[in-house]
Structure 1
Amino acid sequence: MTDNALAKAPAVREVLRQGSVDALAGFGEDEITTLCALLRRLNENLDRMVAE
């Protein structure tokens, strides 16, 4: 990464972290775990579709 990008990385990480917090507001830990597992499976299916 460029020096400019490295300098901006902490701010970008914070924006992404806050977005995740906001998007998952009201979800329990079990629900977040389930959601992540489902999204991983969905992504694997999409990867397979692209590879075909």
Structure 2
Amino acid sequence: MGEAERAAFRAKIDEGIHWASEARILELLAGAGFEDTWRYYRALLYGAWLSRRAG
């Protein structure tokens, strides 16, 4: 990949992917009424959590 291609690729990532920290994801899940959340998978840009609806 040339310099221009790398710059275009980086710009596409910066504009198209909206990052959320694990703390923010946990906060969102708790705010939506979920508890006992744990991350069971993480690779590159992907993560997966299991959670249980409160109550």
Q: TM-score, normalised by structure 1?
A: 0.37
> Taking CA–CA contacts closer than 8 Å with sequence separation of 6 or more, which of the two structures ends up with the larger relative contact order?
2
TM-score normalised by L of structure 2: 0.36
Name whichever structure is richer in strand by fraction: 2
